[in-house]
Amino acid sequence: MSATPKISVRNVAKTYGHMTVLERVNLEVEEGAFCTIVGASGCGKSTFLRMLLSQETPSSGRIELDGAPLPGEPTPDRGIVFQKYSVFSHLTVEDNLILAREFERSRLLGRSFGKGRKAARAEINDTLEKIGLGAARLKYPAQLSGGMQQRLAIAQALLKRPKVLLLDEPFGALDPGIRADMHELLLGLWEELAMTVFMVTHDIREAFKLGTRILVFDKIRHDPQAPDAYGATITYDLPLNRKDAGPPPELAGLAVNADTSTGASA
């Protein structure tokens, strides 16, 4: 493991106009960590993830990736899975998966034809089998179940072998049974590819089950006259041992809160 952390967040704040969403966020994450991020709705955990993706930029402070400032826009070194709209609705399953390869090979149009496309489609056979979509390769995403769509989204996000994988409530809309399958798939891939993972979730049990480290976002400063004056920050940063899955006593109350939250995206 290298001396420089994979991701380092230094005193980051994010404000929209007069509203402070995040403030004084400091974090160092070593390579290969699986960070789960929890917190109440609207506490800025999705904003934090979007900053890691460069979809948004911090209002102050800096974020470093491998010791260098984060690029100003999304790049292939960070993969992303959203809760919705994660795959391309106009492409079939297999075409969703060869898209990255097509971008590499056809610089102008990003489209391959004939033999090149056939070869690219053959290359993804293993991936398709692994995510259980071999039989559905010619279907459009709208014809797939929610779980199948997210399996496709994860596989697609990993095509460029990103060093960091960002997940924004990826299983929020799935049934509990399907969620468990998705957890297996995700953990398997994480171990195989040695990625650093950040995952926002509303499900506290999921956070404890999957993470090697849990980050809890919450507001610690309140001004009753100006509720927007202060933002949330990381209030708990706990290493997790996967063997004794389950929230520690001091977070038991939080677990109840998170379970009853609406599940709306923050």
Partner 1 sequence: MRIINRKPSRVTSVALTALPFAATIGAYALASHYRRLENPADKLLPSLQQMGETFWRMAFVPDRRSGDLLLWLDTYDSLWRLGMGMGVATILALSLGVLIGFIPHARSALAPYIATFSLIPPITILPILFIMFGLGETSKVMLIVIGTAPVMIRSVSQEVMNIPRELIIKAETLGASVMQMIFRVVLPQTLPRLVNAMRLGLVPAWIFLISAEAIASTSGLGYRIFLVRRYLAMDVILPYVVWITLLAFIIDRLLLLLSKRAFPWHHLGGESL
d(CA 182, CA 161) in angstroms, rounded, equals: 19
Does residue 117 belong to the site contacting partner 1 (CB under 8 A)?
Answer: no
Does residue 82 belong to the site contacting partner 1 (CB under 8 A)?
Answer: yes
Specify the residue, 201 or 233, whose C-beta has the smaller distance to partner 1: 201
- Member of 11, 26, 75, 145 binding partner 1 (CB under 8 A): 75
- What does each C-alpha distance from 117 to 100, 114, 124, 180 come to in angstroms? 12, 5, 11, 34
Task: Report, in Å, the least distance between residue 171 CB and partner 1.
Answer: 16
- Reading the block at residue 11, the tokens are 């005193």
Does residue 3 belong to the site contacting partner 1 (CB under 8 A)?
Answer: no
Does residue 100 belong to the site contacting partner 1 (CB under 8 A)?
Answer: yes
| SS3 assignment, position 110 | coil
Does residue 189 belong to the site contacting partner 1 (CB under 8 A)?
Answer: no
Task: Report, in Å, the least distance between residue 77 CB and partner 1.
Answer: 9
In sign, the C-alpha dihedral spanning 166, 170, 176, 180 is: negative
Task: Report, in Å, the least distance between residue 63 CB and partner 1.
Answer: 16
- Member of 44, 162, 211, 231 binding partner 1 (CB under 8 A): 162
In sign, the C-alpha dihedral spanning 78, 83, 87, 90 is: negative
Does residue 89 belong to the site contacting partner 1 (CB under 8 A)?
Answer: yes
Specify the residue, 106 or 235, whose C-beta has the smaller distance to partner 1: 106
Does residue 85 belong to the site contacting partner 1 (CB under 8 A)?
Answer: yes
Specify the residue, 64 or 104, whose C-beta has the smaller distance to partner 1: 104
Does residue 53 belong to the site contacting partner 1 (CB under 8 A)?
Answer: yes
Contact segment (CB under 8 A) with partner 1 among 58-66, 154-162, 189-197, 205-213 equals 154-162
Does residue 110 belong to the site contacting partner 1 (CB under 8 A)?
Answer: yes
| Identity of the amino acid at 46 | S
d(CA 83, CA 92) in angstroms, rounded, equals: 19
Number of neighbouring beta carbons within 10 Å of residue 260: 8
- What does each C-alpha distance from 42 to 59, 60, 145 come to in angstroms? 18, 20, 28
User: What is the helix (H) or strand (E) element at residue 127, kind and residue range?
Assistant: helix 125-130
Contacts with partner 1, residue ranges (CB under 8 A): 53, 55, 73-76, 78-80, 82, 84-91, 99-100, 102-104, 106-111, 140-143, 156-157, 159-160, 162
